[in-house]
Amino acid sequence: MARIPAAVVAASGLVGGYGVARWTEKRPLGGVALVAAGVVAAKEWQEKAGPKAAVALSGAYVAAFVGSHVLAKKIGAWPSVFAVAGGMALASWAVVDRRG
């Protein structure tokens, strides 16, 4: 069975985490979705590119989450979430997924 690229998992975690938090009005539930996707992505990063890449990309994932809050004040919530999710997907693809 084909695996879902880690870039897709990471981006989906950022978008899905925000979506769950917004639509359920329960921020902790959104956090669970965010963390769950982050753990799955980190496992893929470690398996495909090793621990250094996994640590770096995990740091980028957390930075994207924090950055989305800062950016949202300037461009709005959804545009911010999509922007950081796109950046995270690109980083994951460049470091891990393009290796195939």
- Domain limits of the chain? 6-99
Say what the pLDDT of residue 99 is.
Answer: 73
**Spatial separation of the C-alpha atoms in residues 76 and 56, rounded to whole Å:** 27
What's the whole-model pTM score? 0.93
Whole-angstrom CA distances from 96 to 33, 56, 76 are 22, 11, 30
What's the Cα-to-Cα distance from 74 to each of 29, 70, 78, 79, rounded to whole Å?
25, 8, 11, 10
Residue 2 pLDDT grade (very low, low, confident, very high; cuts 50, 70, 90): low
Provide the pLDDT for residue 87: 98
Cα–Cα distance measured from residue 99 to residue 75, given in angstroms and rounded to the nearest whole number: 34
Which is higher by pLDDT, 97 or 21? 21
Q: Residue range 60-64: average pLDDT?
A: 98
Mean pLDDT of 35-42: 97
